[in-house]
Amino acid sequence: MVDVLVVGGGPAGRALAAACTDTGLRVTLVDPAPRRPWPNTYACWRDELPTAVAETAVARTTSRTTAVGTRPHLLHGEYCVLDNPALRRLLHRDGIREVTGTVREAEHDTAGRTVRLRDGRELRAAVLVDASGSNRVLSGGRVDRVASEQTAVGAVLPNEHAERLVGAGRSVFMDWRQPPSNDDPWPSFLYAVPLPGDRTLLEETALARRPGLPLATLRRRLWARLRAAGVTAPGRPPEERVRFRLDDPVPERQRTVPFATVPFGAAAGLIHPTTGFSVAGVLQLAPLVAAALSDGLERDPVTAARDARSVLWPLPALTTRRLRLCAAEGLLAMPPRMVPDFFDVFFDMPPRKQRAFLTPLASPRECREAMTELFNRSPWWLRRRLVVGGLVGPAS
């Protein structure tokens, strides 16, 4: 029997497995394909990353990042694209036992936890970590509801082609100017980041929708946007497809802690409900959760799970999450024509206020101040919509 069994080999699962190993715990990681490369592009602000990640696992960085509602805004700070293979190497530990398999069920008794795989194998551990994303295989299963989803379709083009749209060496955080032909009134934006190898990812993104905007719609919009800008693609460029849930609830304490189970990453609700960012947050939290597990296991597994949950979701973090969920509902209710104007107001705010809302780990006070600043800067017609939509309700 090991100390910690982690289910899920994505960035969240591997970050926590590595951090637990660093504290001296014995760790097993289970995933259906543990060596499968991570397909998505992960990006964040450089100052949100742990030092080791910022120094060794960043692929590209730009200090020229813009956001556009109806007009351009220059954003402050260095925006980074992570180097997925380098991040995997950084999170590799020889002491982690990797098991290829799919979890079917888990049982709990006074001696420990038993995880059964689909092929009949059994694994034993003191504490279970559910890093299986929205599937939540150890935390009650996939939430049965129509979730708010972020969806995106991107194309990776050589820089000399992409620069007609975004300029040389620049990132576009979001550009809400709409493509020339839309077959759905729901708004989407262009997201663009430089990649290694003189390439650029150009992505059409629907920030949040319930359910998510179809990928086929986003693909048509992306290519309409590129054609309108005179951007051509040599051959058939690589395509990135994105779909994930934004507003799954935090797993209930009574369904996890008494069974010495710790959700982590998306399974724990650690996705920013309005931006979709999560990787920088889990990289920051992994060492703290690992330390809580290590200390708690000196007493018993249930104490370890309770202490880890207290690190993940202390009362201030839950309050901040409620504020952001309220903001997300306000955006979902906003008429599409108002969305670009809303983001003009948002990106006119001081950088500190913007980041208080965007950063993974902000206090309720910082989040409320940002929402209040947004309301005070808004014209009357937008203020009315913010109140009706509930976007600034908790800040008053």
Q: What are the domain boundaries of the chain?
A: 2-36+86-142+251-313, 149-245, 317-395
d(CA 293, CA 302): 10
d(CA 390, CA 330): 5
Task: Look at residue 389 in the predicted model and tell me its pLDDT.
Answer: 61
Architecture of the domain made up of 2-36+86-142+251-313 = 3-Layer(bba) Sandwich (3.50)
What is the token pair recorded at 362? 């902000």
Task: Look at residue 21 in the predicted model and tell me its pLDDT.
Answer: 98
- How does pLDDT run along the chain (396 residues), one tens digit per residue? 999 999 999 999 999 999 999 999 999 999 999 999 999 999 999 999 999 999 999 999 999 999 999 999 999 999 999 999 999 999 999 999 999 999 999 999 878 899 999 999 999 999 999 999 999 999 989 888 899 999 999 999 999 999 989 988 899 999 999 888 767 789 999 999 999 999 999 999 999 999 999 999 999 999 999 999 999 888 889 999 999 999 999 999 999 999 999 999 999 999 999 899 999 999 999 999 999 999 999 999 999 999 999 999 999 999 999 999 988 888 898 898 999 999 999 999 999 999 999 888 889 999 999 999 999 999 998 888 777 666 654 333
Task: Look at residue 104 in the predicted model and tell me its pLDDT.
Answer: 94
Q: Please report the DSSP string for 195-264 in residue order.
A: ETTTEEEEEEEEEEESSPPPHHHHHHHHHHHHHHTT---SSS--EEEEEEES-PPPPPGGGTGGGTEEE-
Task: Look at residue 395 in the predicted model and tell me its pLDDT.
Answer: 36
Task: Look at residue 169 in the predicted model and tell me its pLDDT.
Answer: 82
Whats the size of the chain, residue-wise?
A: 396
Q: At 306, is the secondary structure helix, strand, or coil?
A: helix
Task: Look at residue 360 in the predicted model and tell me its pLDDT.
Answer: 83
Instruction: Report which secondary-structure segment, H or E, holds 5.
Output: strand 2-7
3-state secondary structure 127-142: EEEECCHHHCCCCCCC
Residues 6+ apart with CB under 8 A from 192: 162, 165, 166, 170, 171, 172, 175, 200, 201, 202, 203
- Within 10 angstroms of residue 23's Cβ, the number of other Cβ atoms is 17
